[in-house]
Structure 1
Amino acid sequence: MKISVVHGICVRNDAISNAIADNVGWLAGAGHEVVLFAYACEHAGVPHRLVRDVTDILPDAHFQASDIVIFHFGIFYPLFDLIMLVPERARRLVVFHNITPKRFVGAAHHATIDKSFAQMGNTMFADYVACDSASNLAVLRASGVTTPAGVLPLAVHGQAQPCAAKPGHADGIVRLVFIGRLVQSKGVADLLDAVARCLQADSGARIALDLVANLGFSDPALVAAVRAAADAWPRRYGGRVSVRLHGDAPDQLKQRLLAEGDVFVLPTYHEGFCVPIVEALSAGCRVVCYDNSNTPAIAGGFARLVPTGDIAALAQAVGAELALAGSAPWRDDGFAAFAARAWRYAHTFAPARTRHRLIALVADVAAGVAAH
């Protein structure tokens, strides 16, 4: 089949972009002729054509000959309006990644969020909508979209085998990891506040905090706050803490930080799926996160859930994890048992499973037999 994939961008350190790269690679590997149409593409292995607007796509020979057009949607982008102009013979599949509600973003982004929810109505023109999670499907239905739809979880590229040990077991430094954009909705300010409270409450705590972020999609004020903490905290707390910001880190560094990390902390206010939680569990990290949207479901019972926005409770949860990570029973027996269970759970999201389901779904949509 000829398949066109449409989205605004396909860049590094972006969950939707990574899903697009997976989808294109899997479909091409299955023998289909696939082309991504986007404003920007940083994934060299993805066959793509850069466009300025829909008028660059409409006359394209591949697009016009496509058997199916796949649109990824998570925020407003003008190319999504192309769904109403797909060639008559082609089927339309939308992959819905959810939209962050505007109460969790700055006022400067409210207009974009409003346009995003309005543009969600375009899914009415799809033959089928694949949602990353049951939470996303519920959002779709709550918005009045009745298009046939179901859940297709994202693939998570985790560790090849359970983690055997953590560096902190030997040197006593508890490594905390955060992965995500430095924006209000990810709770970065809450994280800094909570860790500072732990340092103040426990004079014996030794902490290394590593933050991996796509700086191009981050709030400059929060980037500055993280850098200020990295500069001030080692002086204020006598060298018991280090803070490192890894902007636009390659996947290899992210995976190394998770493999070395003891606790993954993500006080996020909204998630449609949350790949990093599964990645962290695959790497044997304990997880602390707020209890909203898809986080309880994606954590699978392995996370320490905290009431959303309760920074005192967040600090208490992180403090409990610091104590656990430094305990002899955890180092001797507890960690190995936890890491094995968490790894098995994380591998229910293995790429091979999602690949099989995606290829089957695309074939069904193209044939007009996708299930409700």
Structure 2
Amino acid sequence: MKISVIHGICVRNDAISNAIADNIGWLQEAGHEVVLFTYACEHAVPHRLVRDATDIMIDTHFQASDAVIFHFGIFYPLFDLILLVPERVRRLVVFHNITPKQFVGAEHHATIDKSFAQMGNMMFADHVACDSASNLAVLRAARVTTSASVLPLAVHGQVQPCAAKPGHADGVLRLVFIGRLVRSKGVADLLDAVARCLQADSGARIALDLVANLGFSDPALVEQVRSAADAWPRLYGERVSLRLHGDAPDAVKQRLLLDGDVFVLPTYHEGFCVPIVEALSAGCRVVCYDNSNTPAIAGGLARLVPTGDVALLAQAIGAELALAGSPAWRQDGFAHFADQAWRYAHTFAPARARHRLTALVADLVNGVLEP
């Protein structure tokens, strides 16, 4: 069958874009002819760059499509095209949630308001696939009554459990953060908490690595991280390092997770949160705030901290660092945890997500799904 996929962008180091690339690849492997329509594309998928909805409407592939898949996580004009899809064509929306405006700067409030208003377009879909139960709850809270289900994202984790961490041998405890440097990800809280750990324990040796998509980051927070990277060695000496890996390739991110002892993400809102699962797959302990989808996605394997409490965040990081440095952890505890965490993360393996998506699209086109 012919399938059109529509989203504003499909770029690297972006969770929604990665999901789009996965979806297109799986549908192609299932024998379908798929084309992405977007403003910008950095992934190696069949795509056509467009200026507006008119470019899509006159396209022969779109006109002949059996299904159109829209991905939605923030306002973009092309999503209004769902109102004009021919009645015979099945319409699927993949909903990735919207960051509430209290967690973004005032300059983004108008866009967030437009995003929540545009959620109403989902009433014109035949089905909505939500990344998580949290997203489904948001959908229903917005009074969108369209048929919907939960379709978890794929997580490309490790092929086997992590065997050991470098810190077990050199005594340097490695912290990792992955995410945009924006207010909602709690970057300022992270820097504050790690500084408190260094002040509380004069013997602690810490390496903090941050992986971030700089193109989608707040310049002020990027500068704050870089300033801390310059200041911390002067304040705490050689026992600390802070490195910012802007727009790092996946290989660098995976290496940092495999080396990392603790993954810290003091995020204020998540619709799914792929990095938490990636971290667990790599044998990292996880510390995160207890909101939105983080308790569910962590699967009982994370240390949850009351959202916004930096003092407790510092205590949690300190406790995890003490655990990671203990002889009992290095002898037996780590191996048990790494195996348990990897098995949990493997439930989000791409093969499972692929089966769920292709089956959903087939059922949608064949009229199997109930309204």
TM-score when normalising by structure 2 = 0.99
Deviations 1:284-329 (A, max 9, x none): 0000000000000000000000000000000000000111111100
CA distance in structure 2 between the aligned counterparts of 1:55 and 1:78, rounded to whole angstroms: 11
Aligned-pair distance for 1:139? 0.2
Residue 42 (structure 1) aligned with residue 42 (structure 2): yes
3-state DSSP of counterpart to 1:87: coil
In structure 2, the gaps of 5 or more residues are: none
Match of 1:97 in 2: 96
CA distance in structure 1 between the aligned counterparts of 2:78 and 2:233, rounded to whole angstroms: 47
CA distance in structure 1 between the aligned counterparts of 2:55 and 2:161, rounded to whole angstroms: 47
Aligned-pair distance for 1:238? 1.2
Aligned-pair distance for 1:370? 1.6
Aligned-pair distance for 1:88? 2.6
Summarize the Cα distance change of 1:371–1:323 in structure 2 as closer, same or farther, 3 Å threshold: farther
CA distance in structure 2 between the aligned counterparts of 1:156 and 1:30, rounded to whole angstroms: 20
Residue 216 (structure 1) aligned with residue 215 (structure 2): yes
Summarize the Cα distance change of 1:302–1:371 in structure 2 as closer, same or farther, 3 Å threshold: farther
Deviations 1:182-205 (A, max 9, x none): 000000000000000000000000
Counterpart code for 1:41 = C
Match of 1:67 in 2: 66
Counterpart code for 1:15 = A
Q: Aligned runs of 1:1-372 on 2, under 5 Å?
A: 1-44=1-44, 46-371=45-370
3-state DSSP of counterpart to 1:344: helix
CA distance in structure 1 between the aligned counterparts of 2:139 and 2:368, rounded to whole angstroms: 21
3-state DSSP of counterpart to 1:238: helix
CA distance in structure 1 between the aligned counterparts of 2:370 and 2:350, rounded to whole angstroms: 22
Aligned-pair distance for 1:72? 0.2
In structure 1, the gaps of 5 or more residues are: none
Counterpart code for 1:19 = A
CA distance in structure 2 between the aligned counterparts of 1:305 and 1:371, rounded to whole angstroms: 38
Aligned-pair distance for 1:221? 0.3
Aligned-pair distance for 1:232? 0.7
Counterpart code for 2:290 = D
3-state DSSP of counterpart to 1:369: coil
Deviations 1:108-158 (A, max 9, x none): 000000000000000000000000000000000000000000100000000
CA distance in structure 1 between the aligned counterparts of 2:156 and 2:265, rounded to whole angstroms: 19
Aligned-pair distance for 1:368? 1.9
3-state DSSP of counterpart to 1:340: helix
Aligned-pair distance for 1:371? 4.2
CA distance in structure 2 between the aligned counterparts of 1:288 and 1:370, rounded to whole angstroms: 39
CA distance in structure 2 between the aligned counterparts of 1:29 and 1:38, rounded to whole angstroms: 21
**Length, aligned pairs only:** 371
3-state DSSP of counterpart to 1:268: coil
Aligned-pair distance for 1:76? 0.2
3-state DSSP of counterpart to 2:237: coil
CA distance in structure 1 between the aligned counterparts of 2:328 and 2:316, rounded to whole angstroms: 19
CA distance in structure 2 between the aligned counterparts of 1:370 and 1:158, rounded to whole angstroms: 31
Counterpart code for 2:103 = F
Q: Percent sequence identity over matched residues? A: 86
Aligned-pair distance for 1:214? 0.3
3-state DSSP of counterpart to 2:238: coil
Aligned-pair distance for 1:87? 2.2
CA distance in structure 1 between the aligned counterparts of 2:83 and 2:337, rounded to whole angstroms: 49
CA distance in structure 2 between the aligned counterparts of 1:320 and 1:84, rounded to whole angstroms: 52
Counterpart code for 2:32 = H
CA distance in structure 2 between the aligned counterparts of 1:244 and 1:87, rounded to whole angstroms: 51
3-state DSSP of counterpart to 2:177: strand
Deviations 1:16-54 (A, max 9, x none): 00000000000001000000000000002x100001110
Counterpart code for 1:186 = K
CA distance in structure 2 between the aligned counterparts of 1:72 and 1:371, rounded to whole angstroms: 21
CA distance in structure 2 between the aligned counterparts of 1:96 and 1:238, rounded to whole angstroms: 46
Aligned-pair distance for 1:239? 1.4
Counterpart code for 1:7 = H
Where has structure 1 moved over 2 Å in runs of 4 or more?
A: none
CA distance in structure 1 between the aligned counterparts of 2:12 and 2:367, rounded to whole angstroms: 33
CA distance in structure 2 between the aligned counterparts of 1:193 and 1:366, rounded to whole angstroms: 51
CA distance in structure 2 between the aligned counterparts of 1:61 and 1:364, rounded to whole angstroms: 24
